[in-house]
Amino acid sequence: AAGVIQSPRHLIKEKRETATLKCYPIPRHDTVYWYQQGPGQDPQFLISFYEKMQSDKGSIPDRFSAQQFSDYHSELNMSSLELGDSALYFCASSSSSGRAYNEQFFGPGTRLTVL
Amino acid sequence: DQQVKQNSPSLSVQEGRISILNCDYTNSMFDYFLWYKKYPAEGPTFLISISSIKDKNEDGRFTVFLNKSAKHLSLHIVPSQPGDSAVYFCAASEYNQGGKLIFGQGTELSVKP
Instruction: List, for residues A26-81, the tens digit of each pLDDT value.
Output: 998 989 999 999 988 899 999 999 989 998 899 899 999 999 999 999 999 999 99
Q: What CA–CA distances, in Å, run from A95 to A3, A56, B10?
A: 13, 16, 33
Q: How many residues does the structure list for chain B? A: 113
pLDDT digits (tens, 9 = 90+) for B80-112: 999 999 999 999 998 777 789 999 999 999 999
**pLDDT band of A98, cuts 50, 70, 90:** low
Q: What is the number of CB-based contacts under 8 A between chain A and chain B?
A: 66
Nearest to B32 among A48, A102, A106 (CB): A102
CB contact, 8 Å: A54 with chain B? no
Rounded CA-CA distance B95/B97 in Å is 5
pLDDT in tens, B34-70: 999 999 888 999 999 999 999 999 999 999 999 999 9
pLDDT band at A96 (very low <50, low <70, confident <90, very high): confident
